[in-house]
Amino acid sequence: MISGGLASLVGVVVLVLFVGLVILYAVLGRRWPTVFRPIAGYEALGRAIERAVESGERVHLSLGTGTVTGAESAPALAGLTVLGRVAAATTMSDRPAVVTTADGAMMILAQDTLRSAYHRVGASDQYQATSARMLGPTPYSYVAGLPTLLSTEGVSVHMLIGSFGAEGALAADFGERQQKFVLAGTDDIQTQALLYVTAENALIGEEVFAGGAYLNVGSLHPASLRAQDAVRLLIIVVILIGTLVRTIMGLL
């Protein structure tokens, strides 16, 4: 067991290392661009959005059932990054993207993201406050509102990028049953297993956080992916050394 003080120190060191690596890779990235491994979900997403825009259908993004103030806000923040990109890409369509949440504060963030995205591409008139809405304040009341939204608002792309519990499987299944393009990812491991079964394109592990890098949002996104890989490698080495030392100590 390590003491609280040492744990805090380790936390600060890892954080400083992480920031340093992100800056380093952001600078290096100009000369040596990041090479991404293919993620089928993100590759298919671009084509699905193009089809939706051409056929005048809607893109729906669910930011999950987590709250802004909770520890589960990180995947929804990643979802908002994807939203900015997707909203800008769908401005050619007659029907703007629609975003749903189970939290009022998250809904306000989604509205701001939509407004900014439309403003950036000079389509501020397309912004509607009701394009981002809170479907229900509890996980299951939120999920209960999804089938009607998917069937009545002409949605053809159904993305789930946020924090979900078991209800996430139902949210993905509703999309699959209505034969929408479904891309789903979350931070909860058990829900990821459920999404692997229910969603056509499931994002596993940290793939849910990689949307910004794959959709080319900014230079810090690929840099932070490379920093993640470097820190992960470091942690694996530390774990292996710890296991080795412990085994040897046990043998002696």
Partner 1 sequence: MRLRLSFLWAAVASVVGLVILLGFLLRIPQIDSLGQMLISLAVLLAAAALLLGLLNLLSAHWNKVSLQERGWPYSAILILALLVTFGLGVLFGPDYEVMLLLFNHVQLPVEASLMALLAVSLTVAGFRLLARKRDALSLIFLVVAVVVLLGATPWVIAGDSPRSVPFDYARNWLTQVWAAGGSRGILLGVALGAIATGLRVLVGSDRPFGD
69-108: which residues touch partner 1 (CB under 8 A)?
A: 69, 74-75, 77-78, 80-81, 101, 103-105, 107-108
User: Which residues neighbour 3 within 8 Å (Cβ) at sequence distance 6 or greater?
Assistant: none
Is there binding between residue 160 and partner 1 (CB under 8 A)?
Answer: no
**Using CB under 8 A, which of 112, 121, 244, 245 touches partner 1?**
112
Residue 130 Cβ vs partner 1, minimum distance, rounded to whole Å: 4
Q: How far apart are CA 49 and CA 90, in angstroms?
A: 7
Is there binding between residue 215 and partner 1 (CB under 8 A)?
Answer: no
The site for partner 1, by CB under 8 A, has a size of 77
**Using CB under 8 A, which of 27, 92, 235, 241 touches partner 1?**
235
Which pair of tokens denotes residue 169?
């499987």
**Using CB under 8 A, which of 113, 126, 156, 191 touches partner 1?**
113
**Using CB under 8 A, which of 18, 34, 91, 95 touches partner 1?**
18
Q: Pick the piece of the chain touching partner 1 (CB under 8 A) from 27-35, 53-61, 88-96, 162-170.
A: 162-170
Question: Are 186 and 167 in contact, with CB atoms under 8 Å apart?
Answer: no
Q: How far apart are CA 225 and CA 81, in angstroms?
A: 15
Is there binding between residue 243 and partner 1 (CB under 8 A)?
Answer: no
Is there binding between residue 17 and partner 1 (CB under 8 A)?
Answer: no
Residue 32 Cβ vs partner 1, minimum distance, rounded to whole Å: 19
End-to-end CA distance of the chain: 21
Q: How far apart are CA 147 and CA 174, in angstroms?
A: 6
Q: How far apart are CA 216 and CA 223, in angstroms?
A: 12
Query: Three-state SS for 162?
Result: strand
Q: Between 55 and 69, whose beta carbon lies closer to partner 1?
A: 69
Within positions 27 to 66, which residues make up the interface with partner 1, using CB under 8 A? Answer: none
DSSP code for 94: S
Residue 225 Cβ vs partner 1, minimum distance, rounded to whole Å: 7
Question: Would you give the distance in Å from CA 49 to the centre of its chain?
Answer: 17
Residue 252 Cβ vs partner 1, minimum distance, rounded to whole Å: 26
Question: Are 199 and 184 in contact, with CB atoms under 8 Å apart?
Answer: yes
Residue given tokens 């504060």 in the structure block: 105
Residue 169 Cβ vs partner 1, minimum distance, rounded to whole Å: 6
Q: Pick the piece of the chain touching partner 1 (CB under 8 A) from 8-16, 46-54, 88-96, 243-251.
A: 8-16
Query: Three-state SS for 190?
Result: helix
